[in-house]
Amino acid sequence: MQPWILIALALNTIQIASAQHYLQRSSKKLSEIKTEFTTETAHYQPMFGIGDGDYELVEGVNRFGVLSLDPNGKSQSVDFGREELVYYVLEGSGRLLYNGNTDSITKDDFFYVPIHTNHGFASEDELVVLVMGYPIPEDVSVDNAKVQIANANQVEFQTLEQLNHGVTSRFRLLLGTTESTRDRLAVAYQINSLFVIDFDPAGTNVPHRHPEEEEIYFVLQGTGDMVAGETPKGKPKKHAAREGDAFYFSRNCLVGFYSTKNAKNPRARILAIRSKVP
C-alpha cells in the first residue's frame, strides 16, 4: 500500500475518533428558557438541542428537554413544522390538546406527534413531560400520520439475549419506525427506537456502539455507572448516574450501563431514544 494511502487512512481515523463524543446533563441543574410552549404556568428546560449551549455538538436532535406545567396550567400551542416529536410523561396528569382534539395523559404515557401538528398541554396536578424532537429531512416522504398514545406499563418486558444484552436487563420496546414489527407504536421516520431498560441489581447494558445513530439515555429511576466514551487507554469511561441524569451519545460513541449492586435501592430504569443522523 502506498505511503500516502496509509497517511490518509490514519487522518480519517483521527477525524472519526475526534467526532465521537458525549454530553452529560442533570435535570436537577437545568435553567429555564423561554420557548414556544412558554406561558406563566408552562416552563421549558433544555437538556440537548435548541436552547442548550452545546447545540452545535448534536447532529439530528432538535430538542430534548423537560416541559413542566404548574397545577391547572396551560402551555401555548405550537407547530414545529417538519419535526416529529415524542413525549414521555414523567410525573402528573393532564391533557394533550391538538387540532381540536383532547386526549388525557398520565404518568408513563408516551405519545407520537407527527409533523405539522398544532398541539399543546393542559395540566390537572403538576405535569412534567420529556420533550424529544427530530427534524425529518426534506427528501423523506411522510404519510399523513396521526397522534398515537400508549402507556409504558402496558408494554411487556423482554430480554434481548440475541443482541448480546444478557439476562440482567429487560426491555420495553415502546416506539419504532413505520417498518417496525416489534414496537408498540410503529410510527416514526427519523427516530429509530424508543425503549425502557430495566436492570437487576448489578445488571448490565453491555458497552456497545451505533456507528450511524445518535442516542440519548435518561435515567428514570435508580443509580449506576453510565459508560460514555473511552479513557485515553481505550477503556470504557464510567460516570456516576442517578435519577434525572441524561447522556447524549454521538454516533459510534461507546455507550453502556452498570446498575448499582445494592438490592435495597430502586431498580435502575433508563428511557432511551435512538435516531438516525441526517
pLDDT in tens, 191-215: 999 999 999 999 999 999 999 999 9
**Does 49 or 6 have the greater pLDDT score?**
49
Task: List, in order, residues 6 or more apart from 197 with CB less than 8 Å away.
Answer: 169, 170, 171, 205, 257, 269, 270, 272
pLDDT value of residue 160:
78
C-alpha cell of 105? 395523559
Distance CA(155)–CA(110), nearest Å, equals: 11
One-character DSSP codes across 76-91: PPB--SSEEEEEEEEE
Distance CA(199)–CA(169), nearest Å, equals: 5
Which helix (H) or strand (E) segment holds residue 5: the answer is helix 3-19
Tens of pLDDT, residues 120-136? 999 999 999 999 999 99
Tens of pLDDT, residues 145-176? 899 999 999 999 998 765 556 689 999 999 99
C-alpha cell of 223? 443509580
Strand segments, DSSP code E, in the chain are: 22-26, 42-49, 63-69, 83-91, 93-98, 101-106, 109-113, 119-123, 127-135, 148-151, 169-177, 185-188, 191-199, 204-208, 213-221, 223-230, 236-242, 245-249, 255-259, 269-276
Residue 72 has pLDDT above 70, yes or no: yes
- First CA to last CA across the chain, in angstroms? 33
- The full set of domains in the chain, from first to last, is 21-137+147-276 (2.60.120.10)
pLDDT mean across residues, the chain:
91
Q: Give the pTM.
A: 0.91
Residue 245 has pLDDT above 90, yes or no: yes
pLDDT value of residue 161:
64
Helix (H, G, I), strand (E, B) or coil at 264: coil
**Does 14 or 114 have the greater pLDDT score?**
114
